[in-house]
Every structure is written in C-alpha cells, then in structure tokens.
Amino acid sequence: MKARLVNEFRTYLDPDNDSWDSLDEIVIDNLFFDWKKSDWTLRFGRQDLIYGTGKLILDGTPKDGSRTIYFDAVKLTYSGFADTTVDFLLLHTQAQDPLAMHTQDRDIVGFTGGNAFDGAETGGGVYVKNKSIEKLPFEAYYLIKTHEQDVSFLNNNDRHTVGTRLMPTLTTHLKGNLEAAYQVGDDISAFMIDAKAVLFIEALAAQKARLGLGWYYLSGDDPDTSKDEGWNPLWARWPQYSELYVYAYDTDGAGRWSNLNMPYIDFSISPLKKLKINLLLGYMWAPEDNGAGGGHDRGLLITCKNNFTLKEKLFTQKDKLSGHLLFEFMEPGNYYTDDQQDHTASFLRAELIYSF
C-alpha cells in the first residue's frame, strides 16, 4: 500500500485572482494497493502511469497543471513470459475529484458542460513490453478511450489506438526510438509518428553529452472530409516538448496535441557534476492550415532547461536543495495572424526544491 497527499496554492499578481489561494484543496495524489500471486501482480487505486516517452499515457489530470498526474485505475500485470510483461489497464478518472478535502470543485480533465461530476477520462487497454532481443527491445499496445466528454465540438466516438515502439541500439554510441500509432473508430482515422536518433558524444563522455535528431508528427483534421483525421493524445495532454506551446492547444481541451509536424534537434550536457543543460531547437508546421492566419507554419521553437543541485546534506544525510531554470521562445509563423506574428512568445520559470 502507498499513500501520498498534495496541496498546491498560488498567488496571481495580474490580474488579481484568488482562484488557487491558500489553503486550496488537499488531494490524495496516490492511494493504491498491490497484490501479487505467482506471475500476476495487481495494482488497484489511484496511481501514476507512464508508458514509453509519454506520447499516449502519462497524465490523467491534465487540467490541474503540474499538481498531479494520477489515474484512478486498475493495472494487472502478467510476467510469465520470458523477457516480457503484459499490462492490462482499466482507467476512470472523474472530472472533479470526489476525494478532495476542502474541495474547490475544480475540473481536472477539461470538462466543458453539464455536471462536471458526470465527466471523466475513461478507457483501458493492453500494453506489452518485450526485451527478448537485446539490441531491439520493443513495445506494442492496444488502447481504447471511450466517449469523451471534455470537448463538445470534437468527435465523441470511442477511439481505438494500436501502435508499437522500437528502441534499437544501432552502435555503441548511437541509439534510437521509433513509435508509430494509428487511431480508428466511427468516422475516425488519425496517426502519430515519433522518431529520434541519439548520439552519445564520446569526446564528451565525462560530461554525458548527447545530441539528438528527432521528428514528431501528429495528423490534423481535414475539414473537407467526413472523417476526423485529427490525432487525439489520449492521456498525454501534458507539455511534452514545450511548457509554452502547450497553451496553444488549450481551447481544444487542455494540452490536446494534434495537427503538428515538428523536426527538431536537441542537445544535453552536464558541464558540472551538479548542473545539466538541455537545449531544443525545432520548427513546427501544421499539416492542416486551420489556424487564424491561414498558413501551415506554426513557427520556430527554442527551449533551454538548466537543472542544478545547490547543496546536499544541509540538515540530514539525505536532504537536498535543487531546482531548475527554464527559458522558452516561440516565433510565430503564418499559421497565426499578422498581429500575432509580430509578437514573440516567451516563457520563463525558476524553481527551487527542498527534498528530505
């Protein structure tokens, strides 16, 4: 059994807003029970679930920001096959948390109508992980997300997703990731491709330097057909590549990544033992030109995240003071209006964490 509580409150300077004021809600972030017999393991209750690189399953509560990512779920794992695990999933997270203490009746999934307690993120599936080939581990899955109630103008039919992920070791210093998935349902036909090659730079091995070349593609909905071709990120409505650009999708329901074609390069290095720098440079297009500007160019994205540890063992043998600085810039393209193109978007976040 594991239990975890969380409380998050905020102060807004402009406009003056007390919607997340202290004390706010106290949320049961994790509360689950494990049961194991032979090759079977059952986990029942409120739990975190992260699969792959988080492109389909990572965040069950997308509308509460970074406060929680939990799922109210049942996960049954079978490990009786060699080098293989099979997870059977059943997910049902309500739009408003019925267990919240000092509740603020807050919507945590992005529900947009009716009684929010009737809304939910619901579905399930089967997720297989296999490591029988040493240099080519792979994953395969079937997922279903049932009638969505969070965005009224999108296709609400049940959505079935099938996909696979390959993680080849190409050479001693070169590794890859390739994930492809397809979504079907009544009047639904959408797909995703997530590809990346990572070079571990031998000359900078002591600094753990890595150079990545990637491509992320999410289909967009073609308004000239009767089908819905727009990719649905299921339970992956989190910032993914950008804390700034995730808000570009907020009108579609809290981080609903779709209609995106982004090649990118990234670089990671630790010049000091307690400092890690992550850089990303990408250009974003929209496969479907459904933006206010009428073009396909979403724009240039630049991100820089610096993770650091200031001090360890301040008061105990295990405590630590750490944090990060995050800078992001986005130069809008012709997917946006002329006025929007005249304004570079920027994002800055500084964080300090004391853990013990």
Predicted confidence (pLDDT) per residue in 16-74, tens digit: 666 666 678 899 999 999 999 999 999 999 999 999 999 999 999 998 888 999 999 99
Contact 160, 142 (CB under 8 A): yes
Q: Which residues contact 295 (CB under 8 A, 6 or more apart)?
A: 289, 333, 334, 335
pLDDT at 107: 82
pLDDT at 150: 46
Give the Cα separation of 230 and 154 in Å (integer).
9
pLDDT at 154: 59
DSSP letters, 311-338, are EE-SSSSS-EEEEEEEEEEEEE-TTS-H
* Residue whose token pair is 């096959």: 81
Domain boundaries of the chain, sorted by first residue: 2-257
- CATH domain 2-257 topology: Porin (2.40.160)
Q: H helices of the chain, where?
A: 338-341
pLDDT at 134: 95
Within the chain, which residues score under 70 in pLDDT? 16-22, 111-118, 147-156, 253
DSSP 17: B
* Residue whose token pair is 């209006």: 337
Q: Please state, rounded to an integer, the average pLDDT across all residues of the chain.
A: 92
Give the Cα separation of 255 and 69 in Å (integer).
13
pLDDT at 148: 64
Contact 147, 154 (CB under 8 A): no
HSE, side-chain direction, 13 A CA sphere, residue 225: 12
Contact 36, 67 (CB under 8 A): no
pLDDT tens string 145-191: 986 654 545 556 789 999 999 999 999 999 999 999 999 999 999 99
